[in-house]
Amino acid sequence: MIVIMLNDFPFKENYESMSGVISVDMKNDICPVVLPEKFKWDTISLDNQGNAGELIAFLSQNYSGTLLLPSPVYTQDQLRWIFTSDQYLIICVRTKNNNMIVGTIAAVPIAYKIDYATFKTYQVGLLCTHKKLRKKKIAHVLVKELYRRLDDQKRRVGILFNANNYEIPKAISIVEPVRLLCRPLNIVSLRKNLFSGVSEREFQGLSKAYDVKSTRDIELFRKVNKTDMCTLMDIYHRDSQKKYRMVRTLNYREFEHMFMSDHGVVQTYMITNSAGDIKDFVSFYVVHTNDGRNHAHLLHVTYPNLEILEVIMINILYIAKQQGYDMFYAMDIFGIGKVLTDRLKFKDTNALFNSYVLNYDTEVIQRNHCGLVGLI
């Protein structure tokens, strides 16, 4: 866990909602944040394969993981999917003597809504520091330097920090802490890591309990193509506006990129009625981990009621298992957590995710009213 002290940043500091923009007196220096003599600033371009390879290697070696949540291993295709805009910014700290990366942070443009306020701002993530330098406050200076470089004042309001591997003391998350849930798909593959201490008889019982079968409604599932995008986009906005206080807003190009990947990073399935009309959709993206396995992570799901949600999730679990994924992860948002845990055998990974918002304050958003998944 990385802890960063940011008392001089305009975060919400208590639960007394003022519902508006927090005034910022913080001076934006022209010069970069000063680093110790042995370190230097640099930027990373994903167009440079060497840069991208360095970033992937650094993150895979220094992100901390657990048995239920192994460290992710990014691919260049995944990074291109996450960083959709050429206005992204990835900065790093390097050592001067051997040019080794010791810390990273990234920002990508994003538009999202909280209630009736729309923010065209940045989503911040990939905050990672070298395992041996966690006490050097590199995370602190990375955040300060990134904030300095995002010098467009309009885009500063609502900057979204997705804090899945660090915490910010005194800063209250604008969203209720969100649990990450998981469900085994391939028990045999996961046996060595998760079930090594159980007897053969117990393991056979677990295999039966976690078996995934489709329902007859699987016939109504179809992988989407480009001709479906306009209909799916209408469903997305209609469903999101009705259910959630916080949701990402997407134009057509962004929507197509997010839910249709040319490199197999994300898969989206639509659900039709018997007449072939599209009613809902569900999407997941691929997560590679440092234990050599491939997992699926829920990206978005639309549904009219909990009974249909259960049917959708049963069938997408079956589809993911048939494609060879070992585990299925889902954030406890979209109002789906109770169905996943009570009916579909999802378990808590004990990982809590927070969303901190700079320069804006509002009443804390309950996770069931959040419809925005942080991708970085």
SS3 238: helix
Mean pLDDT of the chain: 85
Following DSSP, what letter does each residue of 267-307 receive, concatenated? EEEEEE-TT--EEEEEEEEEEEBTTS-EEEEEEEE--SSHH
Cα(139)–Cα(348) distance, integer angstroms: 27
| 31-82: pLDDT as tens digits | 888 888 899 999 999 999 899 999 999 999 998 877 778 888 899 999 999 9
Are 147 and 330 contacting, i.e. CB atoms less than 8 angstroms apart?
no
| 220-258: pLDDT as tens digits | 999 999 999 999 999 999 999 889 999 999 999 999 999
Domains of the chain: 2-167 (3.40.630.30), 178-371 (3.40.630.170)
pLDDT at 2: 44
State the pTM of this model: 0.89
| 108-124: pLDDT as tens digits | 988 999 888 888 888 88
Are 269 and 223 contacting, i.e. CB atoms less than 8 angstroms apart?
yes
Confidence bin at 152 (pLDDT 50/70/90): low
Following DSSP, what letter does each residue of 220-249 receive, concatenated? GEEE--GGGHHHHHHHHHHHHHHH-SEEE-
pLDDT at 200: 80
Cα(308)–Cα(310) distance, integer angstroms: 5
Cα(51)–Cα(140) distance, integer angstroms: 23
Rounded to a whole number of angstroms, the distance between the first and last alpha carbons of the chain is: 16
Are 303 and 309 contacting, i.e. CB atoms less than 8 angstroms apart?
yes
CA 129, 131, 133, 135 dihedral sign is positive
Cα(157)–Cα(122) distance, integer angstroms: 9
Token pair of 308, please?
A: 């249909």
Cα(264)–Cα(286) distance, integer angstroms: 8
Cα(96)–Cα(41) distance, integer angstroms: 10
Confidence bin at 135 (pLDDT 50/70/90): confident
| 160-186: pLDDT as tens digits | 877 665 555 555 568 888 999 999 998
Cα(189)–Cα(186) distance, integer angstroms: 6
